[in-house]
Structures are given as C-alpha cells and as structure tokens.
Amino acid sequence: MDDLKQRAADLDAADPLSGWRGRFIIPDGLIYLDGNSLGVLPGNVPARVADAVARGWGEQLIRGWNAEGWMDLPRRIGDRIARLIGAAEGSVICADSTSINLAKVLQAALAMVPERQVVLSDTGNFPTDLYVAQGQLGQAGTLKVVAPEDVAAAMTPEVGVLMLTEVDYRSGRLQDMHGLTDRARDLGIVTIWDLAHSAGALPVDLAGAGADFAVGCGYKYLSGGPGAPAFLYVRPELQNRVSSRLTGWMGHAAPFAFDPDYHPAEGIDRFRVGTPPILSMVAMDAALDVWDGVDMQAVRAKSLSLGDLFIACIDRFASAYDLHLASPRDGNHRGSQVSWHCPDGYAVMQALIDRGVIGDFREPDVIRFGFTPLYLSYAEVVKAAAILQDILRRRTWDQPQFHARARVT
C-alpha cells in the first residue's frame, strides 16, 4: 500500500481542515472511526462544563436560569445547529432525545393529514424511528416500510407522512432529500427527515428542500457528548399551525404565569416540553463553538475523500477475506461512513478495537467506519486499513476474547 500511503501524505499536506484537529482531545495512538456513534471531546468542553457545575449551579443556583441563560439554551443551541443544516434562525430547538423529538413531529405531521394515517419509511431507517412510528400510530394507522430504492414508487395516495433517515445507519446510503421531498410535496405528503448521520457530516439544505420537519442527534458528528440532547426542526410556515401532543410548561406561551390551561408558545418554542438537562446542554453548546467558521462544503469534500481512500485501501485485500462493500462506492450516494459485510464481523471489529482502531459492528455482519473530517487524517485511514489487513491475514480475530458480546459496540 505504499502508493496509498503516499497519496495520504499528499492529501494531508493539502488538507484545508487539518487545523481543526487541535481543537479536539484525541487519546494517543487511537484511530477513531466511530465519530458517527459518539464524537470525540472538543478541547473547550471540560472547562465549560466545570464552570457550569461549580459557578453556574454551585454559585448562581436558581439564579442561573436567568444569569447563565439556561432558559434560552434550547433555542440558542438550536440556532447554532440551524446554520449547519440549512435552516433559518428560529426554526430549530435543542431538546430531549431524538426519539422523543421524532414522536413530537410525527404527532404534528399526522394531525396534518387526518385522512391519511399511513407513514412511509424504509428499511434503512434506524429501528428506533420505526418504533416511534409504531408507538404513535398504534391501531389508528399503518407503518409501511419498503426498501430504500423503492421509496419514491411507494408514495401512493394513502400515504400521509414520509419519514426517512437521510443517511442509512448501516450502509451509509444517502437518500435524495431534495427529490423525495419535492415528490412528497406534489402528492400532499408531509415529510420528516432524521439527520442523525447528516448533521455535521455533510451539507444539509432543509429550507431549500422544503422539508416540513426534521430531527437529529447531538452526540455523533456534532460531538455534543454521550447522549447529548437532540434537536428538531419545523418549517417556519408550519410552526404556528401545528403542535405535538407532548405539551409541557416549557412549551407554554407563558411558562411562569402558571396558567392552568395549555396555550402553545409562538414559533418553535412550542415543541419544548419539560425542563432541559442543563449540564448536557452546556456541553452541547460548547461543542458547537468548534463548528463556528466550519465550511460544510469542505467537510463534505474531505469526508468523501477519506471514504474513497479507505475503500481504495480495503479493495486491495477485500476479496481475499470475503469482504463485500455494503456502502455505495459512488460518494454522491454515500454519507460519511463506509461499511463492509465481513465474515465474523463482530470478532474482527473487537480485534480492531484491541489494536486501537475503533469502528463499530452492526448486526448481522456489518463492520462500519465513520469519517469525521475535522479530526481525522488521511494517514490514519491508511494505517487503519493496514491494521485490518494484518488482523485478517493473521486471523488474530479468532480468539475467544474477541467473540464475547458486550451490550454496546
């Protein structure tokens, strides 16, 4: 792979994003290809969280809600995320978990199409999204799940809501947000996009696509920390016409009037429910400092280039070990991750982790690698591939400790 090593060195030398790596804390010797599961720690986060604990909570106490701006964090963080996903100011809030946010927007969406209680999704959607839809629909509607390539054809007249994840969590396959949203609009279908593997990974253009609703996750590419609060988007024109059935005081027009009747706030704030977990939100807010000034087109270019290089490396030995690319080879159809079907994939991934290359495994046989352009180098990608080749060549994965299943990989 000497030629690929050289290519990596050239790419690193010319990388316009190379300066960003220093803003993250990356354990020595680790090649982290799992920023699509949990992003690494931005260097400014520890001090910000420590300050929120010791000074914000410890000294300001209840006064922190005003003095520290905690009340407005959901909206302020939302506006910072909005810039990264092509949304207008005031159309995104940071709150709750992705699943809870999906339930909220799904309720709002279903209420818009009372005669068409059919939700269309695809098999590439993350299962929790399907579970949320099953829970919300109950016996009153139907969840229709088709293959990713069959979505357009499945938009039949009974479908009321199209609910898709833009980037397939397993294969990295990219759905066509603009095309499918256009078609949905023509057919009177309300659209919900899950940006879990999109936000911070590639340029998203929610407003341009005319998407009705979106949700996403703070802990992957955005590096907001383990279980970081999630976000949701509502198209500005819809905000005052729809609401969720998850109604709580933070979404009230006047939370501190203690009115016994619920009156939704104007705008996106009506999608807030309870009191937000401030320490986790402060970490999310601090993590977004890193994103100020990031050019998402540059992120996309490097992301694809990293993925292409990794594929080129694995191509050299894939057939010898029965690895089959599970992701689109064409970057235009791919998010920021690349996966392979791999025999004994679970054990192979454990052996990789043992050698300091962290990716993850997804049932039944997928080894998955995420590319985070702000803190990965091309050299690391080539080195990771070489370590994988070594593990396969020497069959070091075939040791009992690599077969023991942990609950999360």
CA atoms within 13 A on the CB side of 347: 14
Interface stretch with a second copy, choices 43-51, 85-93, 146-154, 319-327 (CB under 8 A): 43-51
Residue 22 binding a second copy, by CB under 8 A:
no
**Going residue by residue from 113 to 132, which x/- string records binding to a second copy, judged by CB under 8 A?**
----------x--xxx-xxx
Interface stretch with a second copy, choices 9-17, 32-40, 302-310, 317-325 (CB under 8 A): 32-40
Based on the residue annotation, tell me whether 269 is a catalytic residue of this protein.
no
Q: Which of 75, 220, 272, 383 is catalytic?
A: 220
Closest CA to 304 of 162, 172, 139, 165: 172
Based on the residue annotation, tell me whether 122 is a catalytic residue of this protein.
no
The identity of residue 141, as a single letter, is G
- Residues 35, 372 contacting (CB under 8 angstroms): yes
Q: Which of 145, 301, 325, 387 forms a contact with a second copy (CB under 8 A)?
A: 145
Min dist CB 115 to a second copy, Å, is 16
Min dist CB 382 to a second copy, Å, is 21
Q: Kindly tell me which of 186 and 363 has the beta carbon lying closer to a second copy.
A: 363
Based on the residue annotation, tell me whether 235 is a catalytic residue of this protein.
no
Min dist CB 170 to a second copy, Å, is 8
Report CA torsion sign: 260, 266, 272, 277.
negative
Assigned token pair, 51: 């300050």
Cα dihedral 93, 373, 36, 221 in deg (nearest 10): -10
The sheet with strand 360-362 has its strands ordered as: 324-325, 337-341, 366-370, 360-362
Residue 34 binding a second copy, by CB under 8 A:
yes
Q: How far apart are CA 33 and CA 52, in angstroms?
A: 30
Return the CA Rg of the chain.
22
> Under rule CB under 8 A, which residues in 241-270 are in contact with a second copy?
244-252, 256-262
Residue 49 binding a second copy, by CB under 8 A:
yes
Based on the residue annotation, tell me whether 5 is a catalytic residue of this protein.
no
> Under rule CB under 8 A, which residues in 348-387 are in contact with a second copy?
353, 358, 360, 362-363
Q: Kindly tell me which of 34 and 296 has the beta carbon lying closer to a second copy.
A: 34
- Residues 253, 263 contacting (CB under 8 angstroms): yes
